[in-house]
């Protein structure tokens, strides 16, 4: 099959014949994949470059594009992002050596699936069939329920580093992904990439369905039950599928699960115990994985009552503790280099850390973890202007932010009560409301923290 041609394979029904484009600079491989598509009774076009693919799309909009990431005139993931802004279709990435890092990038780029070029014909055929069906099915694309689409650029560091904590995290991810239909709880301090861990578990599990990320903080209104279960209060099915149906065969991620109202937590517990309602109104076993993210530690959420013990017991068949950046301290420079490389690629720059900056990064405690390191690097890039050498400023292990002297000057004239209140509330805000992390950072007990908050109110 010659590059740039389009072959009509089948037309035996009133429905439009599905059309796919194979985009790969390797003519032999693209021809083989096109043969699999054609054997399924679909129309297929073959392109060896992004430019050729654009010309094919201009003539006929495809439902599916199967593409490599390394193309002669651009990056496949960038091309996906551009096309997705105006077209409704699925993408399957077929790469020479699909690493875990590439898998997470594809997930964030909303690719339908990622296959190695060594994949057998049966795997390719099954993926194509699912991808075509996914275009027709509501909610089949990778979505972020209640919080918008996931960011395309991958700045996670879970695949980086060879220290004990970094390797232990990847081991736990593999173990969590090795089960079939399973439930997992991910917990950890703010800024420890808990959502990226959830994405990695989904990728490694190779679930047949999609990943659906739900921001539970936005699910406290009257419509939350309908969005989750696709049902009205009288338990009759509504026209649109709920989150649980949309994630069937895949993974539902409950971000900040402790923000869900108790009645929703109880209903989810019942669903996980007994299954969901099918179109006939009868219970069926849930065919999805559920990952719950706890911001902070589950123990404090259970003690405060924000997380129901029944739901936690049902979810925590496997737990993953996200390590702090301080626990990954032996990898901190490798992580910083990785993040800076991603920032450079995103911005088209060639910045590098000075020796002084590397020493500062090594010595700092990073209470805000990877998120704080990212922000520091972004700020350093902005402040560097035309210079390629980066310096980091303002790092002080004794304060949350900025210069220690200026912070102290702001306290002069205030009472100890006022200073303590300001410090506690600022620390709580810094930790995204995580009370256990706040108590740990301030060196007080969790009970003392609750007593102080009660007194302030």
Residues 83 and 174 placed together within one structural domain of the fold = no
Residue 289: φ, ψ to 5° = -95, 145
Residues 116 and 241 placed together within one structural domain of the fold = no
Least reliable range by pLDDT among 64-78, 126-140, 359-373 = 126-140
Phi-psi region of 292 (alpha: psi -120 to 50; beta: other; left: phi over 0): beta
DSSP run (H or E) holding 425: helix 416-430
Residues 170 and 293 placed together within one structural domain of the fold = yes
pLDDT of residue 231: 56
Q: What is the CATH number of the domain that holds 109?
A: 3.40.50.2300
pLDDT of residue 192: 93
Number of structural domains in the chain: 4
pLDDT of residue 48: 92
pLDDT for residue 283 is more than 70: no
State the Cα–Cα distance between residues 41 and 273, nearest whole angstrom: 42
What digits encode the pLDDT tens for the residues 289-302?
899 999 888 988 89
Closest CA to 158 of 321, 297, 392: 321
| Mean local confidence (pLDDT), 11-39 | 82
State the Cα–Cα distance between residues 56 and 346, nearest whole angstrom: 28
Top-confidence range, 2-16, 123-137, 310-324: 310-324
Percent of the chain at pLDDT above 90? 25
| Mean local confidence (pLDDT), 220-245 | 67
DSSP 8-state symbol, 151: P
Residues 220 and 289 placed together within one structural domain of the fold = yes
Mean confidence (pLDDT) of the chain = 78
Residues 43 and 25 placed together within one structural domain of the fold = yes
- The reply to whether 159 falls in a domain is no
pLDDT for residue 398 is more than 50: no
pLDDT of residue 294: 94
Closest CA to 342 of 174, 160, 190: 160
pLDDT of residue 280: 43
Residues 171 and 289 placed together within one structural domain of the fold = yes
| Mean local confidence (pLDDT), 9-35 | 77
pLDDT for residue 118 is more than 50: yes
Rg from Cα positions in the chain: 25
- The reply to whether 154 falls in a domain is no
- The reply to whether 245 falls in a domain is yes
Q: What is the CATH number of the domain that holds 351?
A: 1.10.8.60
Residues 198 and 317 placed together within one structural domain of the fold = yes
Alpha-carbon distances, residue 63 vs 135, 148, 217 (angstroms): 7, 23, 34
| Mean local confidence (pLDDT), 428-447 | 80
| Mean local confidence (pLDDT), 322-349 | 89
State the pLDDT confidence band at 145, using cuts at 50, 70 and 90.
very low
- The reply to whether 110 falls in a domain is yes
When comparing pLDDT for 17 and 410, which is higher? 17
pLDDT for residue 399 is more than 80: no
Residues 132 and 261 placed together within one structural domain of the fold = no
pLDDT of residue 225: 82
Residues 173 and 316 placed together within one structural domain of the fold = yes
Least reliable range by pLDDT among 18-32, 71-85, 138-152, 236-250 = 138-152
Least reliable range by pLDDT among 311-315, 322-326, 443-447 = 443-447
pLDDT of residue 286: 61
Residues 357 and 293 placed together within one structural domain of the fold = no
pLDDT of residue 426: 81
- The reply to whether 150 falls in a domain is no
What digits encode the pLDDT tens for the residues 57-76?
888 888 899 999 889 888 88
- With a CB cutoff of 8 Å and minimum separation 6, the contacts of 187 are 194, 293, 294, 295, 296, 297, 298, 319, 320, 321, 322
When comparing pLDDT for 94 and 430, which is higher? 94
pLDDT of residue 138: 28
pLDDT of residue 315: 93
DSSP 345-404: HHHT---EE-HHHHHHHHH---TTHHHHHHHHHHHHHHHHTT-SEE------TTSSSS-H
- The reply to whether 78 falls in a domain is yes
Closest CA to 152 of 198, 104, 92, 95: 104
pLDDT for residue 357 is more than 80: yes
DSSP 258-305: GGS-HHHHHHHHHHHHH-EE-TTS-EE---SEEEEEEEB-HHHHHHHT
State the pLDDT confidence band at 236, using cuts at 50, 70 and 90.
very low
- The reply to whether 1 falls in a domain is no
pLDDT for residue 110 is more than 50: yes
Q: Which range marks the domain in which residue 233 is found? A: 164-321
Q: Which of 363, 390, 417 is the last residue of a domain?
A: 390
Q: What is the CATH number of the domain that holds 271?
A: 3.40.50.300
pLDDT of residue 41: 85
- With a CB cutoff of 8 Å and minimum separation 6, the contacts of 328 are 161, 163, 165, 166, 335
pLDDT of residue 113: 81
pLDDT for residue 435 is more than 60: yes
Torsion of CA 47, 51, 53, 56, to 10 degrees: -110
- The reply to whether 448 falls in a domain is yes
Q: What is the CATH number of the domain that holds 441?
A: 1.10.10.60
Residues 273 and 130 placed together within one structural domain of the fold = no
DSSP 8-state symbol, 73: T
pLDDT of residue 155: 53
pLDDT of residue 99: 73
State the Cα–Cα distance between residues 307 and 298, nearest whole angstrom: 8
pLDDT of residue 333: 95
State the pLDDT confidence band at 232, using cuts at 50, 70 and 90.
very low
Residues 248 and 360 placed together within one structural domain of the fold = no
pLDDT of residue 165: 93
State the Cα–Cα distance between residues 384 and 340, nearest whole angstrom: 13
Q: Which of 90, 118, 136 is the last residue of a domain?
A: 136
Tell me the whole-structure pTM to 2 decimals: 0.57
What digits encode the pLDDT tens for the residues 178-212?
876 689 999 999 889 998 899 888 888 887 778 88
When comparing pLDDT for 32 and 287, which is higher? 32
pLDDT for residue 3 is more than 60: no
């Amino acid at each position: 099959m010659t590059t740039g041609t389009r072959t009509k394979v089948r037309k035996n029904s009133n429905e439009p014949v599905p059309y796919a484009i194979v985009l790969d600079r390797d003519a032999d491989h693209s021809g083989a994949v096109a043969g699999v598509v054609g054997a399924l009774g679909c129309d297929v076009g073959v392109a060896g470059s992004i430019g050729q693919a654009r010309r094919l799309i201009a003539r006929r909009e495809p439902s599916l594009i199967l593409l490599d990431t390394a193309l002669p005139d651009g990056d496949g993931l960038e091309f996906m992002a551009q096309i997705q802004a105006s077209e409704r279709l699925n993408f399957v990435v077929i790469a020479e050596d699909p690493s875990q890092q590439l898998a997470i990038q594809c997930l964030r780029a909303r690719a339908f699936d990622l296959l190695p070029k060594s994949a057998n014909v049966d795997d390719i055929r099954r993926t194509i069939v699912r991808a075509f069906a996914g275009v027709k099915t509501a909610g089949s694309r990778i979505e972020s329920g209640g919080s918008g689409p996931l960011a395309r650029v991958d700045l996670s560091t879970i695949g980086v580093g060879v220290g004990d904590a970094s390797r232990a995290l990847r081991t736990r991810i593999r173990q969590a992904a090795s089960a079939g239909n399973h439930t997992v709880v991910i917990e950890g301090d703010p800024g420890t990439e808990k959502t990226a861990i959830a994405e990695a578990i989904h990728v490694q599990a190779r679930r047949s369905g999609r990943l659906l990320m739900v921001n539970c903080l936005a699910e406290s209104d009257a419509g939350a039950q309908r969005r989750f279960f696709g049902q009205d209060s009288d338990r009759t099915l509504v026209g649109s599928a709920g989150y649980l149906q949309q994630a069937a065969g895949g993974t539902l991620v409950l971000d900040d699960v402790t923000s869900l109202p108790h009645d929703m937590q109880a209903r989810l517990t019942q669903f996980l115990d007994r299954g969901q309602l099918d179109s006939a109104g009868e219970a069926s076993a849930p065919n999805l994985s559920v990952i719950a993210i706890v911001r902070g530690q589950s123990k404090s959420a259970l003690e405060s009552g924000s997380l129901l013990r029944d739901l936690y017991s049902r979810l925590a068949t496997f737990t993953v503790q996200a390590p702090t950046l301080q626990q990954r301290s032996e990898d901190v420079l490798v992580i910083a280099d990785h993040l800076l490389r991603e920032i450079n690629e995103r911005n088209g720059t060639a910045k590098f850390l000075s020796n002084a900056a590397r020493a500062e990064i090594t010595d700092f405690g990073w209470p805000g973890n990877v998120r704080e390191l990212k922000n520091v690097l972004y700020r350093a890039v902005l402040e560097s202007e035309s210079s390629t050498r980066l310096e980091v400023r303002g790092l002080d292990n004794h304060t949350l932010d900025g210069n220690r002297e200026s912070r102290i000057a702001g306290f002069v004239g205030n009472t100890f009560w006022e200073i303590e209140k300001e410090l506690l509330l600022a620390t709580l805000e810094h930790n995204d409301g995580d009370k256990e992390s706040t108590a740990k950072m301030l060196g007080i007990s969790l009970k003392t923290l609750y007593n102080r908050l009660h007194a302030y109110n």
